[in-house]
Structure 1
Amino acid sequence: MSARILIIEDEFLVALDMQVGLEDAGHEVVGVGDDWTSAMQLARLNPSVALVDVNLCDGATGPSIGAWLGQEIGCTVIFVTANPRQIDKPIPGALGIMIKPVDSRQVVEAVEFAVAARIGQTTPTPPPCLMLLNA
């Protein structure tokens, strides 16, 4: 099942690797942003899943962006970060955290788990690369 994915990542090569891997797996990447402003603009494209880094061009805004995307847009958020300790409180709509470095295969596995979770068809365990929040 394909999904509409939003990538919020300020490292160009990391974002490109995610985008190529997801598109190769049949998902639609609706956009790539690197800060609050671009996230707000791209959210108009109705993503179902967002991959969000914590530290972006405008600072450590990822948790706030993730909360906004989860609450206001209703998409499932997966944080992809080298700084998981910065996610220090529950965030509505956030499914889990992937710790960088990650490869495109892991990103696809996590997104496909998120899509299944959105429609109530989760597998018994998440992929090893995804740490569930609030689990």
Structure 2
Amino acid sequence: MAHRILLLEDEQAIADTLLYSLRSEGFEVMHVPLVREALAAFALQAPDLAILDVGLPDGNGFDVCRAIRKTSELPIVFLTARSEEIDRILGLELGADDYVSKPFSPREVCARVKAILRRSAVRPAATAPDAAPLQLDEAAQRIRCAGQWLALTRYEYRLLATLLKRPQRIFSRAELMDLVWDDASDTADRTVDAHIKLVRAKLRDAGASADLIQTHRHMGYSLSA
């Protein structure tokens, strides 16, 4: 069955280009130009992934992401002409899986969509948890905390998995950028800090008994043994 994608984009020329590319790759795409239409489409039938423009006539893609994140961990890609660092950080803090700035290559967007869908594919449940506070399932690219699987975005998973593989080892922000992000040159220290904050919150929500991620002033981060 073809993956369903919700495309929120008000510029018809850009939408037509993406529609052609995505459909050529076998995706089923619903295109809407307004925030209210995107929310209505999501409520009617949740897609497998959403591509959200930021600047729209009746709002912005950040608002749509916030609304979706109240009930769903749906993979989200922001597509926008706004390339400032603060906008990228805001999108990631809201739980986006990727951020593509205009102008862009439709083939690159398709490749990113396919990669995200592969990573977020549902896999069979693993065996009962062991006694460790965190359990890494690399095959399914997921992490369990206190008996429940964490709802992590792509970079949240990669960040926590990197720390989990080397407990007590201090990773600098630069090392984490190189190991976790696909294009470290476009990533800033604040992005690492923002993701650490989000992962910590999810660990607390899952019932972690202590702050498992330790901050080492002027050095970086480590995971408690």
1:7 maps to what in 2? 7
1:58 maps to what in 2? 58
Alpha-carbon deviations, 1:59-102, whole Å to 9, x = none? 4x11111222233243111001110333443013x101001111
Q: Distance in 1 between matches of 2:6 and 2:110?
A: 13
Return 5+ residue gaps in structure 2 as ranges: 122-139, 142-153, 155-178, 197-225
Aligned residue pairs total 129
SS of the residue aligned with 1:67?
A: helix
Using the size of structure 1 for normalisation, the TM-score is: 0.80
SS of the residue aligned with 2:70?
A: helix
1:21 maps to what in 2? 21
Quote how far apart the aligned CAs of 1:103 are: 2.3
Q: Given the superposition, is the C-alpha separation of residues 36 and 104 from structure 1 closer, same or farther in structure 2, using an over 3 Å criterion?
A: same
Cα contact 1:6–1:51 (8 A) shared by 2: yes
Alignment equivalent of 1:91, drawn from 90, 94, 117: 94
Cα contact 1:70–1:76 (8 A) shared by 2: no
SS of the residue aligned with 1:74?
A: coil
Q: Distance in 1 between matches of 2:181 and 2:23?
A: 21
Q: Given the superposition, is the C-alpha separation of residues 15 and 70 from structure 1 closer, same or farther in structure 2, using an over 3 Å criterion?
A: farther
Q: Distance in 2 between matches of 1:35 and 1:88?
A: 23
Query: Taking CA–CA contacts closer than 8 Å with sequence separation of 6 or more, which of the two structures ends up with the larger relative contact order?
Result: 1
What RMSD, in angstroms, separates the aligned Cα atoms of the two structures?
2.7
Quote how far apart the aligned CAs of 1:127 are: 6.8
Query: Do residues 48 (structure 1) and 48 (structure 2) align?
Result: yes
Q: Which has the larger radius of gyration?
A: 2
Matches within 5 A, 1:71-110: 71-85=70-84, 86-89=87-90, 90-92=93-95, 94-110=96-112
Cα contact 1:46–1:73 (8 A) shared by 2: no
Return 5+ residue gaps in structure 1 as ranges: none
